[in-house]
Structure 1
């Protein structure tokens, strides 16, 4: 099967980088990366891992991210127009249309999972199935998990120091950065040295900082009050919820989600952080392949934890 890289020109005039693996595969899978402001990289193994299942996999960098166009984020009008969830949802739909995808599968990781859940609720007729990777249905539970992680990893004095730094916005403080790096190594990228590596930091900081804040362990941006929990049960699609056992997202919430969704299955990747497709690919892709093969054979059933 062929792989192809394409530049998609949006109706707003901006360009998005996209890459499709296994071109011509019967089943279509579109992948939405996290961040916001991260890149397609966590999906790079999806194509090779799913090739023998005849699955065409497309990933792309969202507006402002790495290979795609970056608007002038210093312009207030630009920020108001594009730095919001509605824009990025409309982007998903335009990418789908340009690819010609219909009755396709949608996978979203972290922030991409937020987009995927909302897109699935708004456009159920376009989808055949949904894959949510490490994203809960509300930010409040995520914030509780962050507090528990920090209390577990650091002494009361260290936690007080972190809060003092955060209140002042002194994000470059050396000791604070050391503590945050420790958290990333424990809960985001447990595979060290990291498999995802560049000579420079390629995250789109203006996008990430606007929505999230300085790092994964604070939420000071626009995501702070996001809550999808009341709409979760409206998603009737066969849904795979993929979480890790040592990550930033609370498993307690994932278990509530699978009970609330009428046609969902929850799987947990062991010894892995937030990027578990990188930390433990052998288990992660086994679960992902089971999702597709079970659907094809009629063996996909909702999670037994529902009872």
Structure 2
């Protein structure tokens, strides 16, 4: 009985709850929700997209929400090797604004194919994958906004540096442009905020590369994650976040990022990544999102917003690495305002 009642309420909300929505080209709410002319109607917006790689063809999972010919936001998740589930909260904000958005699990992530060949886990290949996804979804410079958070922010920067002519707008969320600077910030600023004996024990485990020691995860959970990854007690972390952690592909994550939470482990392929000197090549309208309690330095992210040619900075004072959850109102208000401002300027 309860499930039936809930279904009726949700249906009523979808049909009538956003009755004031009208997009810039006079599309109504019914147009936003109408799948009847789409080739993904059969599975409610889900499309498995074939991707050509040097190791053969694989498929990646995508799911489109809504219709808006002028605003289509492709979401690049973090990790590497996590999932689109980190962005479930976007459902609470984007539909009411008429913003079309696309969930997407990168190759190797839970809902997509998960080949084991490590040669596939390279930045250039991921950039090529995003470009193939863009083409398959019909995204172009008139509608394509690329949102990337954490590792997804790295990937978004790399994509923009190669294909910015295909973009309408770029969003770099909770990601610095230099991993060496990230490591320095983690060890010199965040680590010392812990009790001294705790940080010393963590560093000792890292120095000895004893990452399988259960004490390592225990200390991070208690003293790091709930202060700088998502600022809530672990018992209150959203189910979608716990689900994406459960679905993490460690083979991709460890190969590219390593085991450490205070930098990039020696030997990991992302070690030394730095695009700071190249940011001034990005001319497309760009929003950089930083947070007061992030694992990333908000001061450096503000600097990034000034290095790109057409940048804007959004600061989430109460947020951490997943500021879409712990400073949600500021995060979504700023993100939505940016998208609509860019749309208004390019439409007029």
Alignment TM-score, normalising by the size of structure 1: 0.89
Q: CA RMSD in A?
A: 1.9
* Structure 1 residue 295 displacement after superposition: 2.4
- Whole-angstrom distance in 1 between the partners of 2:246 and 2:168: 35
Aligned pairs (5 A) from 1:23-172: 23-72=67-116, 78-80=117-119, 82-103=120-141, 104-147=144-187, 148-155=189-196, 157-172=197-212
Aligned pairs (5 A) from 1:146-295: 146-147=186-187, 148-155=189-196, 157-181=197-221, 182-192=223-233, 193-195=236-238, 196-198=241-243, 201-220=246-265, 221-295=268-342
Dislocated runs of 4+, deviation >6 Å? none
* Structure 1 residue 25 displacement after superposition: 4.6
- Whole-angstrom distance in 2 between the partners of 1:199 and 1:282: 22
- Whole-angstrom distance in 1 between the partners of 2:245 and 2:164: 39
* Structure 1 residue 270 displacement after superposition: 2.3
2:145–2:169 Cα contact (<8 Å) kept: yes
- Deviation by residue 1:120-151 (Cα, 9 ceiling, x = unmatched): 11112100110110111111110111102111
Alpha-carbon spacing, 1:199–1:231, altered in 2? closer, same or farther (3 Å): closer
* Structure 1 residue 176 displacement after superposition: 2.1
| Secondary structure in structure 1 of the residue aligned to 2:66 | strand
- Whole-angstrom distance in 2 between the partners of 1:48 and 1:200: 21
| Secondary structure in structure 2 of the residue aligned to 1:13 | strand
* Structure 1 residue 47 displacement after superposition: 4.5
Q: Gaps (5+ residues) in structure 2?
A: 1-32, 36-43
What is the aligned length?
292
- Whole-angstrom distance in 2 between the partners of 1:33 and 1:17: 13
Alpha-carbon spacing, 1:129–1:200, altered in 2? closer, same or farther (3 Å): closer
- Whole-angstrom distance in 2 between the partners of 1:286 and 1:40: 21
1:47–1:57 Cα contact (<8 Å) kept: no
Larger radius of gyration between Structure 1 and Structure 2: 2
- Whole-angstrom distance in 2 between the partners of 1:186 and 1:47: 25
Q: Gaps (5+ residues) in structure 1?
A: 73-77, 300-307
Point out the more displaced range, 92-101 or 8-17: 8-17
* Structure 1 residue 45 displacement after superposition: 2.9
* Structure 1 residue 199 displacement after superposition: 9.9
- Whole-angstrom distance in 1 between the partners of 2:220 and 2:165: 42
* Structure 1 residue 41 displacement after superposition: 1.4
